[in-house]
Amino acid sequence: MIIDMPDTTTNAVSKRLDHLRDEGGAVALGRVLTLVVVAVEDDIEAAVAAANEASHEHPCRVIVVAPLASRGTAGRLDAQIRVGGDAGASEVVVLRCAEPLRDHPDTLVMPLLLPDAPIVVWWPTGGPADPVADPLGAMAQRRITDTTTASDPVGMLGRLAASFTEGDTDLAWARVTLWRGLIAAAIDQPPYEPVTAVRVEGQTQHTSLDLLAAWLGLKLKCPATVERTEGSDAITRVTLERRSGPIVLDRPDGRVVTISQPGKPERRMSLPIRSLSEALIEELRRLDPDEIYGQVLAKGLARVETVEAVA
């Protein structure tokens, strides 16, 4: 069910939600968090779809804040409530606001926050250079950016490293979780030799390459290199150099990874590129600070050498 509330207030939206709850069509009981999505108009439907998918594992109230495109509408707020089949296991409130309301998004969403529930803020496109300094970010226990969608992904990653605060995270980091598990399993086998160098190859502007290389260089205490390749998808290959020969994890098609190392037969495993909803679900599984991500930003990125993109 979708309810449109043009030219309204957040207090009126809150009362309408209470009315829906009293009618039994939507309930706030069992919601584990409030997910605030800071979006532009083009992001809204994809972000809501991802949040709805995530809500099946993390029931939540989703509040989307987006600018109102219409001119001559100062102070106007158009709201939309989605419940039932249009909201997955969540309640979705879309707030399209004009200035000066959009300059104070924290006061805008405050009447709609679930009581005594953690707040997570997500920027589907890029995000601020200093998330905790943002009015909504300052309210949240977790702040989720996505450097892969920024206009300058690598530059934004560097700015996030400079401003990192506990509670910050990035969907580019969630996208390397399965890679980290596979690499750890491959290294933890005979002959248990130290890794002397690491190379991560893949898409030109995909920041998951930088984060994975930074993590490997930091944990293995070895040089780490990122090689960006035109026309590739996400991470395509990881090479771990050892004295007896390299361990190579190769995923040229974005679906299946082939693991090869000296003296052992090749292994093939399914490793599809993670969808937006899968990455979001991964980040919502923990609301405590991600210490490893913080170490990777603060100490690991400085160890990474980047090779210019090749055709």
**pLDDT for position 19:** 87
Three-state DSSP state, 193? coil
Query: Mean pLDDT, the chain, as a whole number?
Result: 92
Residue 232 binned pLDDT confidence (cut-offs 50, 70, 90): confident
Residue 175 binned pLDDT confidence (cut-offs 50, 70, 90): very high
List the chain domain ranges. 2-169, 177-310
**pLDDT for position 47:** 95
pTM of the model: 0.93
First-last CA distance in the chain: 49
Q: CA 156 to CA 159: how far, in whole Å?
A: 5
Q: CA 3 to CA 93: how far, in whole Å?
A: 10
DSSP 118-181: -EEEE-SSB--SSGGGSTTGGG-SEEEEBGGGSSSHHHHHHHHHHH--TTEEEHHHHTTHHHHH
